[in-house]
Amino acid sequence: MSIARRLFVCVLASVMMLSVPGFAAAQHVVPPAQVAATLADQVAKQDGDRATVRETLTRPEVQRVAGTMGLDLARATAALDTMNAADLERAAAAARDVNHQLAGGASTVVISTTTIIIILLLVIILIIAVK
């Protein structure tokens, strides 16, 4: 009985080892092309967010506010490349708000709101840079 059981286990193990790799290699949960496309979209979005923040940091109004606060914009710009996706998304949202506010010919009320948004943007970037 022991020899038959061992023979059965060996045959069963051999069949399983031969069939699993062939089956697993043929199937993918998500096609590789779709994974590549999703990654490319994510990288493009992050590059766009970085460009938006860089554009905002080069605006004279932002540079003036940063200068009065004693903040180093070169350090803030350098920190953009090390930001994670969530922080970058928040900074880009704030930068879009600043660009939108400044693009419309800001009034006194808008300038003070924009100044607050600029300060928040710079604080977010500098906090990330310190990490």
Q: What is the 3-state secondary structure (H, E, C) of the chain?
A: CHHHHHHHHHHHHHHHHHHHHHHHHHCCCCCHHHHHHHHHHHHHHHHHHHHHHHHHHCCHHHHHHHHHHCCCHHHHHHHHHHCCHHHHHHHHHHHHHHHHHHHCCCCHHHHHHHHHHHHHHHHHHHHHHHC
Domains identified in the chain, total number: 1
Which pLDDT does position 121 carry in this prediction? Answer: 81
Provide the pLDDT for residue 66: 82
The structure's pTM equals: 0.61
Q: Range of 114's domain?
A: 2-130
Mean pLDDT value across residues 92-118? 72
Residue 37 pLDDT: 92
pLDDT of the residue at 6: 78
